[in-house]
Amino acid sequence: MTAPAPALTDLTGTWTIDPVHSRIGFSARHAMVTTVRGQFKDVEGTLQLDGADPVASSASVTIQTDSFDTGVADRDGHVKSADFLDVATYPTITFLSTGAAAGKGEDEYVLTGELTVHGVSKTVDLEVTFEGSSKDPYGNTRAGFTATTAISRKEFGISFNAALETGGVLLGDKIKIELDISAIKTS
């Protein structure tokens, strides 16, 4: 691997998300005392980077809902059921960017877009950090990005819950989303 590129401005072009080296993760409160984490293992997407004007860059991502994984088969099966993701009816989650703005620091951006989950589309802001770029041993130019956001699952029509004997509910409404993206330049 070569040293990281100094700036996003060097990376104009089309990039494809490398699903083997990327992670779309999430976390949610469980039983009001702990956090459950997991990921979606099947993701594809394209980034259009504009080095001259990074805020003119765009992204399109599709996630297969059946790839939901927390490492616990029974829990994963329940979340894939009609109580939550309903993967038979809604096989994908999509994100299509609609705009971008400079973030708080260098190489930080806010990517705004339409997130569609469970058949419901909402505007979300992803806080994105450009982590650098390099050539891999196979000659591919790679760029890395991390991003975070949080959503309300109820706003996407996912409201299943259960009351706890001690008060409160089994599942929190807030879902934190964390992305670690490795993208390969294709043109």
Which domains, ranges and CATH numbers included, belong to the chain? 8-185 (2.40.128.110)
| pLDDT tens-place string over residues 115-173 | 999 999 999 999 999 999 999 999 999 999 999 999 999 999 999 888 878 888 788 89
pLDDT category at 9 given cuts 50, 70, 90 is low
Report the phi/psi class of residue 168: left, alpha or beta, with left for phi > 0 and alpha for psi in -120 to 50.
Answer: left
Question: Which residue, 157, 111, 149, 186, is CA-closest to 24?
Answer: 149
Q: Are 124 and 149 in contact (CB under 8 A)?
A: yes
Q: What angle do CA 136, 179, 58 make, to 5 degrees?
A: 80
pLDDT above 70: residue 7: no
Question: The pTM is what?
Answer: 0.90
Per-residue pLDDT tens over the stretch 11-68 = 899 999 999 999 999 999 988 888 999 999 999 999 999 988 888 999 999 999 999 9
Rounded CA-CA distance 38/184 in Å is 24
Question: What three-state secondary structure class fits 161?
Answer: coil
User: Could you tell me which residues are beta bridge partners of residue 121?
Assistant: 116
Amino acid at 181: I
